[in-house]
Amino acid sequence: MEITAQMVKNLRERSGAGIMECKQALKETEGDVEEAITFLRKRGLAKASKKEGREAAEGIIGSYIHAGGKIGVLLEMNCETDFVANTDDFRELVKDIAMHIAAAKPRFATRDEVTEDVLSKEREIFAAQARESGKPENVVDKIVEGKMNKFYEENCLVEQTYIKDTSMTIQDLIKQKIAKLGENILVGEFSRFEISK
């Protein structure tokens, strides 16, 4: 199948990938645009994984104030260079994640931030619930492990399902931007403020 310039342009607009990458993806998928997007995402995520260990000492502090001014978020996002920190893509990512924090109320950025006190308290509660429901002792540990994974998904920002696209997590969103921008990107600290009634 012939890959036209228009096909490459359309894929580039949809994926944000470079011209040559789009052309290659279309060749690999015989012109199927949806498959080409999947191909680019897989390739981009593989590249993003390689960048994860690199230092991210630059970045910006972003904010989001929800309509009505009752909920606000301050968020530090880090990347490798001030050049990337000043791009529209990076700033859009910061805004989207700040908006997500306002809606989803994460308590921690990653699993590593969850304190041992919180972990042992949650495990204790989950174990007691399992025993209370009459589960045998040999099953309790598996139940606790499953509930702990659910706890991380609900309370750790990077593991939460992204509110604007439920097919991905915040970590998936960040990896997409890493693949597009070519730098490691990390969530720094964040604070969520809410005026309650």
Place of tokens 């609900």: 154
Looking at the structure, do residues 32 and 103 belong to the same domain, yes or no? no
Query: What pLDDT score does 51 carry?
Result: 52
Co-location of 18 and 89 in the same domain: no
> CA 151, 152, 157 angle in degrees (round to 5)?
125
Q: In terms of Cα–Cα distance, which of 100, 106, 113, 93 is closest to 183? A: 93
> What is the value of pTM for the model shown?
0.69
pLDDT of residue 35: 85
Q: Supply the CATH number for residue 46's domain.
A: 1.10.8.10
Asked if 30 and 58 touch (Cβ cutoff 8 Å), the reply is no
Distance from C-alpha of 122 to C-alpha of 126, rounded to nearest angstrom: 6
Range of the domain at 46: 5-51
Mean pLDDT (the chain, rounded)? 86
- Tell whether 119 and 148 lie within a shared domain: yes
User: Which 3 state secondary structure label does DSSP give 49?
Assistant: helix
Let me know whether 182 and 93 are in one domain: yes
Residues 73 and 96 in one domain: yes
Spatial separation of the C-alpha atoms in residues 15 and 54, rounded to whole Å: 24
The verdict on 183 and 96 lying in the same domain is yes
Digit-coded pLDDT (tens) for 12-23 = 777 666 677 778
Better-predicted residue by pLDDT, 53 or 88: 88
Q: Could you tell me where the beta strands, DSSP code E, fall in the chain?
A: 58-65, 71-79, 186-194
The CATH number for 139's domain is: 1.10.286
Helix axes 19-28, 5-15, angle to 10 degrees: 110
Convert the pLDDT of each residue in 154-182 to its tens digit. Answer: 999 999 999 999 999 999 999 888 888 88
| 131 and 106 co-located in one domain | no
pLDDT for 19-52, tens place per residue?
777 788 888 888 888 888 787 767 765 454 555 5
How much is the CA Rg of the chain, to the nearest whole Å? Answer: 21
Reported residue count of the chain is 197
Domain check: are 44 and 133 in the same one?
no
According to the model, what pLDDT value does residue 157 have? 96
Domain count for the chain: 3
Residues 45 and 63 in one domain: no
Mean pLDDT value of segment 104-126: 92
**Residue of higher predicted confidence among 75 and 14:** 75
